[in-house]
Amino acid sequence: MKKSISEYTEAEFIRFMQEIRGANKSASDEVLGELLEQFRQLTGHPDGSDLIYYPEDGADNSNEGITETVKKWREANGLPGFKPRF
């Protein structure tokens, strides 16, 4: 388990989002809860898992859209971002 968002590339974070959505369909509540807690800790976003389950009207709540929202919010708040791809 990576402990910082700066350890993830955007593509890796999108895969992490896919893991969360997969767990939502087939994993135990405990496993899903752990993934969502990891999401909250990694992103630091004040909306937490609401970005996934209760997005703002008109927000892109696809895996890519959530990743972009997190990226922009962290940048706007002077927080470290994703690891560069190369």
What pTM does this model have? 0.92
Contact present, 4 and 12 (Cβ < 8 Å): no
Tens-digit pLDDT string for the chain (86 aa): 789 999 999 999 999 999 999 999 998 999 999 999 999 999 999 999 999 999 999 999 999 999 999 999 999 999 999 999 87
Tokens encoding 40: 């909250």
Domains of the chain: 5-76 (1.10.1200.20)
How far apart are the C-alpha atoms of 57 and 20, rounded to whole Å? 22
Report the pLDDT value the prediction gives residue 80, as an integer from 0 to 100.
97
Report the pLDDT value the prediction gives residue 85, as an integer from 0 to 100.
84
